[in-house]
A and B are shown apart, each in its own frame.
Chain A
Amino acid sequence: MSIQLHAHARAFPIGATILQVEDVSLRFGGVKALTKISFDVREHEVRAIIGPNGAGKSSMLNVINGVYRPQEGTLSFRGSKLEGMTPRRAAHMGISRTFQNIALFKGMSVLDNIMAGRNLRMHASFLEVAFRLPRALREENENRDKVEEIIEFLEIEHIRKTPVGRLPYGLQKRVELGRALAAEPKILLLDEPMAGMNIEEKQDMCRFVLDVNDHYGTTVVLIEHDMGVVMDISDRVVVLDYGKKIGDGSPDEVRADQNVIDAYLGVAH
């Protein structure tokens, strides 16, 4: 169903380059995680970064949202260079993400998790909160409303108040997506959103990713090591292997690319 959905004309046509990665290299001590990676992400597109395990996909994501600082290379957002990226700055710029192994706030309910995703939009001081002064209450209500839209969007009304710890894996992934969406990001980074899911769950997740892209016009950058699903839903694909870029283009081009095929030889997909 995901495929068919995509066949429609796009609500948000793909626009200009929003994120530019240039010659990024990243090392841990001696270990080279990334070497001279360059690619661009255009507004409103679904951009996939694929590659076998250990190809440096996650490192790439972590560089984009400032968790890691590359030793060389630059990132530019809407044409302006980004110096000294930090996760917080990334968040403020409208980059939000999910994690490969779910990083939800285990002790909190689904609702609170997603609410927490909107903390950037809450400015009341702890005193205002403690005394429930108007601004605090207003922010609480306004943001709750937004969050509820997301809950509706992801069809998780029935688990709204459940502690995330009790949810099955698939749902947790969905909630994490919700938390990332809550920030109303310009760019959404998804770190292996379908890892460890059964086929229905994968299909659902595909649907939601596409719906997000389609409904909010969010630019999506997602990582997968499993070529299958991604190919159907992404507009363009970057292929990494051992920290080097070995392919870049439309799914079909990439599928045809000899280097890619070689890289994936042995990797059962």
Chain B
Amino acid sequence: MFYREAGQFRTSYAQDTQIFPLRQDRLAMMALLAAAFIAVPLFASDYWLRALLIPWLIFSLVALGQNILTGYAGQLSLGSAGFMAVGAFACYNFMLRVDGMPFLVALVLSGLCAAAVGMAFGLPSLRIRGLYLAVATLAAQFFIVWALDKFAWFKNNDPSGVITAQPMKILGYSFASPQAKYILVLAIVAGLALLAKNMARGATGRSWMAVRDMDVAAEVMGLPLMRTKLQAFAISSFYCGVGGALFAFAYLGTVEPSAFTIDLSFRILFMIIIGGVGTILGSFLGAAFILLLPILLSVLFHAVFGKIVDASVTSSVELIVFGSLIIVFLIVEPHGLARLWQVTKERLRLWPFPH
């Protein structure tokens, strides 16, 4: 009902395919970005930045990766955390072993490493599909964590098995404060999200979705299944890898391989299921949801029962809620929060008409 569309017509295909065809949406998006880049760093508390916003952005990025592979290309992967790990440790080693290595370059390289590993484990997808593939990605998950765990070299032979991320320096400026870290992460995530959106709405995205929806037809149309799938694996892993690196460098600071358990992989999968499979927006919504839920739950618990409940109870309740939510979403709204948002938007555009 707040939309006034009359007079917004398109005279070129470029206009017709832009990300936000409606002026109102474009303005809203600009306002949002402005707020995110300026207002938030100014007013948000360190706790908010460190404990909520930074991890949210990072997981949004990882979810984006998962979404590219699972949501757009339709290849179920249970190994996202593994690819994150590759990114994190790759970045650490590049910084460690190449002196004077600029952080951003290291970041990209670590993404590429993850992409390479991703492709390696994606290879089976050429022969196998669906469930079988899911199992193959489990192999990735376990193998990667095992390898990083067993070969001390990756961790610079640190007896504790824990690595400490080097400071993030770009052009001499060290991103140490929460605000600085936040802005850096935000910029990277925003940029990569834009690229993802461009791919999704372009020819690349179409071939992914074609393979997802009806691979036989896609092949008959001359679409190279292998390349498309591997491409999806590589790009997806790249996003996960960069996410992993940021996870280590901008969020935790110190990591060990065991931080990237299969449990984490599941959570990332949940993010896109709840957020919205096959949408960019969904990745962000889902990440926010999955991250906030535990906090809300514990807050709720303490509000209701006071301090008496011990952690194990809340954690098990958390498990139950997560699990049930997944099932409910799969049954009720398979397209997740993003779809809900989209539907509301449609209704507003048609207001006062119901359809």
A residues near B (Cβ < 8 Å) are 65, 67, 87-88, 90-92, 96-97, 99, 103-108, 112, 115-117, 119-120, 122, 124, 126, 129-132, 136-137, 139-141, 144-145, 179, 183
Residues of B within 8 A of A119 (CB): 203, 206-207, 210, 221-223
| B202: interface (CB < 8 Å) | yes
Bound complex: CA of A124 vs CA of B231, how far in Å? Answer: 14
Nearest neighbor of B208 in chain A, beta-carbon distance: A126
| B323: interface (CB < 8 Å) | no
Residues of B within 8 A of A103 (CB): 214, 216-217
Bound complex: CA of A137 vs CA of B16, how far in Å? Answer: 13
Bound complex: CA of A98 vs CA of B177, how far in Å? Answer: 59
| B199: interface (CB < 8 Å) | yes
A137 touches B14 (CB 8 A): yes
Besides A126-B235, A140-B13, 5 other A-B contacts (C-beta < 8 A):
A88-B224, A104-B217, A107-B213, A115-B203, A139-B203
Residues of B within 8 A of A97 (CB): 220
| Secondary structure of the B contact surface, majority rule | helix
Residues of B within 8 A of A129 (CB): 198-199, 202-204
Residues of B within 8 A of A116 (CB): 206-207, 209-210, 218, 221, 223
Bound complex: CA of A67 vs CA of B220, how far in Å? Answer: 8
Bound complex: CA of A191 vs CA of B60, how far in Å? Answer: 44
| Secondary structure of the A contact surface, majority rule | helix
- The one of B17, B214, B221, B224 in contact with A117, judged by C-beta atoms closer than 8 angstroms, is B221
Interface size on B, residues (CB 8 A): 30
- The one of B12, B213, B231 in contact with A106, judged by C-beta atoms closer than 8 angstroms, is B213
Residues of B within 8 A of A115 (CB): 203, 206
What is the minimal beta-carbon distance from A152 to any residue of chain B, in angstroms? Answer: 15
B219 touches A107 (CB 8 A): no
B198 touches A132 (CB 8 A): yes
Residues of B within 8 A of A67 (CB): 216, 220
Bound complex: CA of A88 vs CA of B220, how far in Å? Answer: 6
Q: Which chain B residues numbered 20 to 44 have a C-beta less than 8 Å away from chain A? A: none
Bound complex: CA of A162 vs CA of B285, how far in Å? Answer: 25
Residues of A within 8 A of B224 (CB): 88
Residues of A within 8 A of B235 (CB): 126
Residues of B within 8 A of A92 (CB): 222
What is the minimal beta-carbon distance from A183 to any residue of chain B, in angstroms? Answer: 7
Bound complex: CA of A107 vs CA of B217, how far in Å? Answer: 14
